[in-house]
A and B are shown apart, each in its own frame.
Chain A
Amino acid sequence: MLIGNPNTGKSTLFNALAGLRQRVGNFPGVTVEKKLGRMSHEGQTLSLVDLPGTYSLAPRSPDEMVAVDVLLGRRDDVPPPDVVVCIVDASNLERNLYLVSQVLELGLPTVIALNMVDVAGSHGVVVDVQRLSRQLGAPVVPLVASRRRGVAELKAAVAAAIDTRVAPPPSPFPVEFRREVDQLEAALAARRQNGGALPRYLVERLLLDTGGYLEDLVLANGAGDLSARLHDARGRLEQAGCAVPAVEAVSRYGWVSQVVDGTIRRTADRSATFSDRLDRVLTHWFSGTLAFAVMMLAVFSLIFWAADWPMTWIDEGVGALGGWVEGALPAGALRSLLVDGVIAGVGAVVIFLPQILILFCFIAILEDCGYMARAAFLMDRLMSRVGLSGKSFIPLLSSFACAVPGIMATRVIENRRDRLTTILVAPLMSCSARLPVYVILIAAFIPDRSYFFGLLGLRGLTMFAMYLLGVVTAVLVALVLKKTLLRGGTPPFVMELPGYKWPSIRMVLHRMLDRGWAFLRRAGTLIFAVSIVVWAAAYYPRNEAAVEAPFIAQRERLESRLDDSDVSPSQREAYEAELADVENRIASEYQKQSFLGRAGRSIEPAVRPLGWDWRIGCAAIASFPAREVVMSVLGVIYNLGEVDVGDEQGQGNLRERLKAATWDDTGRPVYNIPVALSIMVFFALCAQCAATLAVIKRETNSWAWPVFTFTYMTGLAYLGALVTYQVGMRLMG
């Protein structure tokens, strides 16, 4: 079992021990990740469990309780640990030893992994390992995990520690406290109703944790007058000068000081290291903010531009695959299912992969080198106005590129309510998939006017307005959530600012690939399923005879004319264009008849107030798996065949068609500025991305939240589009 403070290189150590043999899962009922691995030492294989980084083993929530339960062997899904490896940062020993003090009290065989001795060395700190080991009563192995130094010795120490008997160390607590714990333990044992006695560690915690979480848990198992007892005990302790909860910190840190005395030697004065000087610059109000702005701009732009080339590459690959399948199979349902359903649908998700990889690469680099904490520090003030904390900033910013990695990045937020709020508003940040929608509609319908001597273009402003809309809505929603469902004070922002260091390439790559693979696997399975369903709705029912009948004569005429060899090139071109047109109209007729088409037409009354006709409604439904698909679908419906949105020509034609489109019944043009705006507003606010919802489900471990997100966002989108259209029509007539 691996435990330690955050920022101690625990993940690096885990990778060094387990290599590629790891699995990530979830503990049921909580959002904590279960990370398992296997490590081998001299022929033996040991299984390794990685617990989340924590500063203390005080369970105040179900998530924190999991770590404690796992260590105490009280969980059914994880066997009780044979050895606990506690990783500590040598350059930061005092605070790290607080956790060690708690871990040692559990009475399990423990090995201390003293990591980052190189960093400590550069700060002029030398640790007397032998003496530390004596003081702690446990083996101490110095390491530099990022360079794989000391890992073999650690494995040996762990193997040696299995099956050893360990005497719990002398308790750091004062006598009065220990007496109260004894009394409490006796009282609980006497009233034991469910068999299993409560471990002493938890009895201690009952007394210490004034928040009451553990108390409620134990009361649920029937312990009668527990609350009264605790209240009395605490009162007595306060009288004796050992007020709870301070007594724990005071006692433990008192112990820490004793241990550290003589064990740490400072060879150099702790003068300003490079790390310090860098920090002065980066947290200074002016230079820090400037550096921050530049950094954010760089990350953001790079995601857009650098992802472009591999994305096009994947897109073409997917297209080629589709083309190959199309050529290889006879026309019919199976071919269509594969090409238009599976390949197109899953392809639309896979195309996100380069963005995800790049984004996570950056995040991993920034996190590893220590900059992330500074960014949170700088943005905290703004964030707390909205009821969040600085740690939400990076995930929300990432969501501008793609909400999927942004939501995955919320793991750094410890507070559950905070994290949930961030996850729920992240999809409102206009992600890159909305871009094609904005681009086409703006180019088609927003006039190319500019103000201020050409500096402020109306089109650019509209685009900016759409992004701004997302941000403003997110702020409002966050505020509302904080006041209603996720009520609770602004969480504490007590955060460590770790020292700067060079990011380890291995670590960055590993994290990048790990997340990328997780994305592909999890979102991909859901997308696959959804694509098939949407395809089926768009394909069936397929009454070939009825649909093609009116066109058969025309098609045969054209085909026979084309077979005729003495036809001039220009005439041939004209015939081919006409034939293509016929095929497209057939495709569009099929669409109209399909379930999807019928659904679109049946909701037409609902979307009319938005200024939409059935085709737009249909496209909105069909683009549920991935937003960009809406343009392709519109293309098909408007008789163009598949409009590849990356293709300039395709865009141009769709633009013309949209301008020319008219209502079926009245013949008035469908599209005008208010309609275009209402479509854009809808897409800015709606939750149409199955990949995002899939990630939300994974990160919150429940179906309720993705459903909630979908409902509230679609509701907002509908309202927004409605208001936009109605107001727009009044203003522009």
Chain B
Amino acid sequence: MKSSYAYYPGCLASLSQKELDTSTRAIAERLGFELVDIPGFTCCGAGDVHEARPEYYLHLNARILGQAEQLGQDTLLTICNVCTLNLRQADRKLKDDPELLARVNDNLREVGAATYSGGVEVRHLLWEIAEGEGYERLKQVASKPLTGLRVAPFYGCQILRPSKLLGFEDPDRPQSLERIIEACGAEPVDYPSKIRCCGFPIVLAREEVALGELIQPLAEAKEAGADMIVTPCPLCHLSLDAWQGKASREADLEFDLPILHLAQLVGAAAGLSYDELLFKRHVVKVDPVVHKIYAEH
């Protein structure tokens, strides 16, 4: 485990999902992770730029990796599944093809941007605290066990698949979130859809298809008796949280499931306050469940 990272919050955690960035910074301090900001980073382009303009996507991501390298860091920490896959895909492509890397660097040099020599590994926060020394530190900081809370893990797609690019754990039987939930003193709830898609990438272009995908995990988690869902991805979070009302109407089912970011769950177990973790910034109100943790709310 490392203690110093180039920190890449990405777009959503810098904007609409600000509570994720704030709670990540708060738990990093407790965990003893030094997060080094990357000046001038941009959006990774998500699946959209990757699909529409793969060459431009590659350059955008090479620039971000180069910026991390310029900071003298060899590990870039992500807190979003889409950023993780996008950056790892670009990194793999560039490392596997020296000619391509040289061509991309020529372009980066021409516009005055940081170039990349291939010395960075992209890691998601989940992986850093689910095993090894990070996990030991997590157990130490989780001093306020979330006893009695039933938490359903929702992994999202792009932290599991394609496994040849991500490869942290068995994509069909992941256990990292369960381990973290247990370390936080809560009880993990198992349900088959925890590895399926939340539908978010197409929620604006094909809302009806996306909702069709979103209903299943919500319904299964509810059925399994979960008090809340936790996810390592801000896009899954937005889908499960902001679109939950629409999914509920579409399915004619009451879900009422608060959705926590991974960093918020860890933060709550580490004794960080309701305000520090920005729990007020949720569409599905977390108070009825979170009040079990914070008696004052």
A joins B in a complex = no
Q: Which residues of A contact B (CB under 8 A)?
A: none
Q: Which residues of B contact A (CB under 8 A)?
A: none
